[in-house]
Amino acid sequence: MKIYKSLLIIFFIVFFTLYNAVAEEKIEHKIAVLVNDEVITSYDIIQRMKLTAIIQGINLNTQNSQIMVNNVVDELIREKVKLSKINEYQIKVEDERYTEFEINFFKRNKIDRDEILNLLEENKINYEEFRKYLLNELAWNKLINGLFFRFTSINDLEIKELVSKNPTLSNEQAENLVIQRQLDLQSSKLLRDIMNEATIEYK
């Protein structure tokens, strides 16, 4: 990973006066990071911070905002490099598959969809920002499955061990867990490789 400027991103206007809408409107879309010539702006960071806070139920304040900024910037950088690989393989996600993924996301995280959509609107976050966030995750999963699923294998001993530790698991569920663990390892390795190859410049 080539980094030409390693400056700590200082969050402007004390987290835009902690959600002050007027202050937010005055913030220009300044370039904060360049990732392989792809731009991450100050506005992108604010939008993702608010989205993350809403999804995770976090109350942002002066104590935790800088930590959140750093985490969000790292997350957006990872998304940019993932997207480059997704585009390289021309991965497409069908609308029906996305709808199913979104429904499962809300169920898995025990979040009320209508409540989240209302919060997005109240905080001036376009639904498309949320959709893009999930769509990138889904497309990356599809890429990983396409590249590595055929190389996965199931060990009977590992399945038995999983079921013995979790009696509520069926054999099929245990098999899926084993496969997912292998895919997760491949995902982490691929992400690490493309991050090492990326050119990242902090402004």
Segment 95-111 shows an average pLDDT of: 95
Per-residue pLDDT, 23: 47
Confidence class for position 67, pLDDT limits 50, 70, 90: confident
Per-residue pLDDT, 58: 87
pTM comes to 0.86
Domains of the chain and any CATH numbers:
2-143+188-202 (1.10.4030.10)
Q: Are 123 and 50 in contact (CB under 8 A)?
A: yes
